[in-house]
Structure 1
Amino acid sequence: MRTMSVLRTGCRHRGHAFAAISAVALAACSLGPNGQPPAMPSPAHYGRTALPEQTAMADGVSQRFDIGAQPVPEWWRLYRSPQLDALVDEGLKNSPTLAATEKNLAGAREQLRAQIGSSLLPTIDAGAQATRERALGIPEAGPPTVRYNVFVGQIQAHYTFDLFGAVRYANAALHARVDVQAFELNAARRALAANIVTTTINAAMLDSEIDATRRLIALAQQNAQEDARRYALGAVSHAQALASQQSAAAFEATLPGLLQQRDATGHALAVLLGRTPDAEPEIPDLASLATPEQVPVVVPSALLRTRPDIVAAEAAVKAAAAEVGLATAQMFPSLSLTASMGQGGFSWPTALSAAGALWSIGGSLTQPLFHGGALLAQRRAAIDFYDAATQQYKATVLSAFQNVADTLAALEHDAQAVSATQTQTQSARQAFDETAARGRLGAIPAASVRASEQQYWNAKLTALRSSAQRLADTALLFQAMGDAPKG
């Protein structure tokens, strides 16, 4: 019966202790904000007007907007170009910038593990010490000096109780900061893929533009040479000959700039792939890149979970909220427990015997009283940073909505531009073919044929730029949609 009474008493004491610990834990939960991001509006559609089901037909493709679909992970494969796929795969594998970001994330995760391990579990250290000492003695009481040895071996343990959640808040803040880095890595990976795709498209467009420009230069030079001969024969005025020469020189002046852009684009693409600038990869032909027909459009409410920049901003809010709790918890008492045990003595036999046993145990309770206003200032600063994080979250969401709205509008306008420029190019081509046929029959002079061909190549240049812009804007929209949410 006595044993049962003792057990009941112990149970009551444990129940009181558990209730006290629970009360403290509940109190700790209210020391900071809950870390939830502010509510954001969910517009019915991204832009000023509702999104159409599909774009205008252009180049035989009408891009269909799949509203409510999930983002496409490897969206670049929709261009149906093995060369482009290989370039993106190489860049994601070999980019030193991306690799550095991954290593920084791995290091941050290890730091988080270290902090959790050191803060939630007791620290235990073993130490040994052997010293030879000489101390001053009292001449009247003994020899003038004292020489002796000290041998000590100890195991020390230390643990700080997380009474008000300071450790928990610190770990939560660091965990959220690691999440921010993880989401930023995802954003960097998607940005790298988009940069490789758009840079490749730009390089392919420049290759086509350079070819067209060289043909225009050749036609202008033929006109200038013919007018120079006709001027020598007195058939045309000197002003017309000079005008033709000026026109040819103007076309020639555009080529160096295009070549410089092409060189810079090739260098940039090589570096994106992790190569040196001199190792530029082979660029696919612009005509070999298919325009993706199905384009996913994540609804605004779901975009908050798919965009890496938005979820990173949300993690930053959680980190700032935890830091408010940490700054508040540091104003409350701190309880630590320290214990040690070991052996010691002035000789090895004594140190190893029962007489050399050493031990200590103690606790310390610290309550901050006066720190010159530092603790209060730190808490106010944490609250200000939290407010800033919530505002930054709002700005990130609004910027993401704008980004999607701009790219969606761009695709619709790109399709209209491609359709118009292709009609212009087809008309110019038909006119050139008819003019060339009449020129072969001798019905019109060669200069008229060259003028018609110049109109065709100018129209083709405009169409090339429009098609390349459509391909690039499609890549930007895929990037803007983010990733499918995990889990």
Structure 2
Amino acid sequence: MSTRRFPLRLGVIAVAAALAACSTTAPYQAPTVEIPAHYAGQPDSNASNASNASNPAWQVASPADAAPRGAWWTVFGDTELNTLEARIDVSNQSVRKALANLAEARATTDYQRAGFLPTITAGVAQDRYRTSANKQGSSLAGKTVPDYSMGVTATWEPDVFGRIRDEVTSANATAQASAADLEAVRLAMTAQLAVDYFNLRSLDAQKQLLDDSVSVYTRALAIVQDQLRNGAIDASAVAQAQTQLESTRTQARDIDVSRAQLQHAIATLIGEPASIFSLPPVPDAQAAQAGFKLPAIPAGLPSQLIERRPDIAAAERRVAAANAQIGAAHAAFFPNLVLSATAGLESSMFAPWLSAPSLFWSLGPQLVGTIFDGGKRSATLHAASAHYDGTVADYRQTVLTAFEQVEDNLSALQALADESATQQRAAQAAQQALQLTTNRFNAGALSYLDVVTSQTIALTNQRDAVVIEGRRMTACVRLIEALGGTWNNNAG
């Protein structure tokens, strides 16, 4: 009898293996998005080519979301910034969490992939049991019986309708999304560090400008005090000089507060307690800011942005994962085929336990399907479809946001370049006006109020020039971040 059933069981296994290639998942296609032909804020192609030729350190992206990202911050040529950025991967806690999330997602993929393989269990047991003496028709009634057993059980569920494969596909896509999330976090943290660093150096330049002005105003106050003692001027000039001096000191002190906050932010980004981290000012902060290298950035084509932005890659991988989950939800409507086999040794006496007569075994398939579940599977399928629609919307919104960020920073860089040129001219003109006003005051042709006014205008214009340069550096960093950072196939 068992001889006739064996070919039947082999046939069931063969059919199961053949059906294992089946899947109820619709073929995946990345969602379509509207991509412009060019950036509205991008300079003409000839200018872009010229900028790229003059700055070979910045390379046009190699479109691929899996390509390694280089140390993009090195294009600014600041050694201290490079040192700080190198600590992001090692000590930044947001990056560490993203790494942990990636490891978790990969472990989930391994867990789902294990579903393709059989599950094998083994056990050894020793029991004693007594059957009721009042049990009729039993030869063991009222007797205590020992039982020694040792067995191995193997179960395997062939992936007939692709449920396991869909779960693996979904988990793998989720792991890829986590990898892209890691790159997005790295890019965000390194960009924020660069922004904070350049803002801090801009404050250093402003502080130096204010400190120099305090020195000048202190000497001016001493001069007008001497003139007051000699009766050359009235007390109003001294009051004006004193007011200007103290007001400038207040502005310089306020710079200290903002600088301390930026220094603390940088400490947190590099994973160091703010209480023990220090980033001292450079000896000549104004010269240091003027020496910052503002790289020319070829924005490339909008289509490249879709492939090199890690957040876009992550959003697209989540769409793929949601699509696979729809297939897994479809597969729940079909029955499950389970193949099981058990073999072992069992005896009521220990001595003959390991002998051939103690052998027992069983082998057989089982086909189980749900007939009625109150609509649970339908609800799960509808939820999976709705989740897929949500991930598509998230993907398209991420793309739209990416284009917005690129356009914002392209426009900002162009506008700030014009502002910088005009502000530099304004600062030079204000300095010339101050010199002329001071000369006329010394000649007795003007009151000291005119000098104070010219000094205030000159300081304001010089400080505005410093602020604009800092904003240009920030916009440059944000544009690099918006473009997805440097992508270089040779980067380590």
Please say if residues 237 and 449 of structure 2, whose CA atoms lie closer than 8 Å, have aligned partners that are also in contact: no
Q: 2:3 aligns to what?
A: none
1:53–1:426 CA distance, 2 compared to 1 (3 A): farther
Code of the residue aligned with 2:279 in structure 1: it is: P
Q: Distance in 2 between matches of 1:153 and 1:390?
A: 53
TM-score normalised according to structure 2 size: 0.83
Q: 1:6 aligns to what?
A: none
**In the TM superposition, what is the alpha-carbon distance from 1:279 to its structure 2 partner?**
1.2
Please say if residues 307 and 481 of structure 1, whose CA atoms lie closer than 8 Å, have aligned partners that are also in contact: yes
* Uncovered stretches (5+) of structure 2, i.e. residues with no partner: 1-6, 49-53, 64-68
1:362–1:143 CA distance, 2 compared to 1 (3 A): closer
Q: Distance in 2 between matches of 1:308 and 1:242?
A: 59
Q: 2:208 aligns to what?
A: 211
Please say if residues 240 and 449 of structure 2, whose CA atoms lie closer than 8 Å, have aligned partners that are also in contact: no
Q: 2:40 aligns to what?
A: 47
Please say if residues 38 and 390 of structure 1, whose CA atoms lie closer than 8 Å, have aligned partners that are also in contact: yes
Please say if residues 54 and 65 of structure 1, whose CA atoms lie closer than 8 Å, have aligned partners that are also in contact: no
Q: Distance in 2 between matches of 1:442 and 1:373?
A: 96
Please say if residues 61 and 308 of structure 2, whose CA atoms lie closer than 8 Å, have aligned partners that are also in contact: no
Q: 1:38 aligns with which of 19, 28, 31?
A: 31
Q: 1:175 aligns to what?
A: 172
* Identity over aligned pairs, percent: 26
Report the secondary structure of 2:126's partner residue: strand
**In the TM superposition, what is the alpha-carbon distance from 1:457 to its structure 2 partner?**
2.5
Q: 1:106 aligns to what?
A: 103
**In the TM superposition, what is the alpha-carbon distance from 1:53 to its structure 2 partner?**
5.0
Q: 1:340 aligns to what?
A: 342
1:477–1:120 CA distance, 2 compared to 1 (3 A): same
* Uncovered stretches (5+) of structure 1, i.e. residues with no partner: 1-9, 56-61
Deviations 1:282-329 (A, max 9, x none): 455442753233313131111111000111110010001001111111
Report the secondary structure of 1:295's partner residue: coil
Q: 2:4 aligns to what?
A: none
Please say if residues 420 and 465 of structure 2, whose CA atoms lie closer than 8 Å, have aligned partners that are also in contact: yes
Deviations 1:6-52 (A, max 9, x none): xxxx9xx98x967x8667735x2xx3333322212221222267657
Please say if residues 80 and 289 of structure 1, whose CA atoms lie closer than 8 Å, have aligned partners that are also in contact: no
The alignment status of 1:420 with 2:422, answered yes or no, reads yes
Code of the residue aligned with 2:277 in structure 1: it is: A
Report the secondary structure of 1:281's partner residue: coil
Q: 1:199 aligns to what?
A: 196
Q: 1:364 aligns to what?
A: 366
**In the TM superposition, what is the alpha-carbon distance from 1:237 to its structure 2 partner?**
7.2
Code of the residue aligned with 2:273 in structure 1: it is: T
Code of the residue aligned with 2:32 in structure 1: it is: A
Q: 2:21 aligns with which of 19, 25, 28?
A: 25
Q: Distance in 1 between matches of 2:278 and 2:128?
A: 70
Greater shift after overlay, 177-186 or 444-453? 444-453
1:474–1:381 CA distance, 2 compared to 1 (3 A): same
Between the two proteins, the alignment pairs up a number of residues equal to 467
TM-score normalised according to structure 1 size: 0.84
Q: 1:129 aligns to what?
A: 125
Please say if residues 219 and 450 of structure 1, whose CA atoms lie closer than 8 Å, have aligned partners that are also in contact: no
**In the TM superposition, what is the alpha-carbon distance from 1:468 to its structure 2 partner?**
1.0
Greater shift after overlay, 255-264 or 220-229? 220-229
Report the secondary structure of 1:352's partner residue: coil
Q: Distance in 2 between matches of 1:347 and 1:288?
A: 93
Code of the residue aligned with 2:206 in structure 1: it is: E
Code of the residue aligned with 1:399 in structure 2: it is: T
1:466–1:133 CA distance, 2 compared to 1 (3 A): same
Q: Distance in 2 between matches of 1:452 and 1:112?
A: 69
Code of the residue aligned with 1:25 in structure 2: it is: A
The alignment status of 1:484 with 2:480, answered yes or no, reads no
1:290–1:238 CA distance, 2 compared to 1 (3 A): closer
**In the TM superposition, what is the alpha-carbon distance from 1:255 to its structure 2 partner?**
3.7
Q: 1:58 aligns to what?
A: none
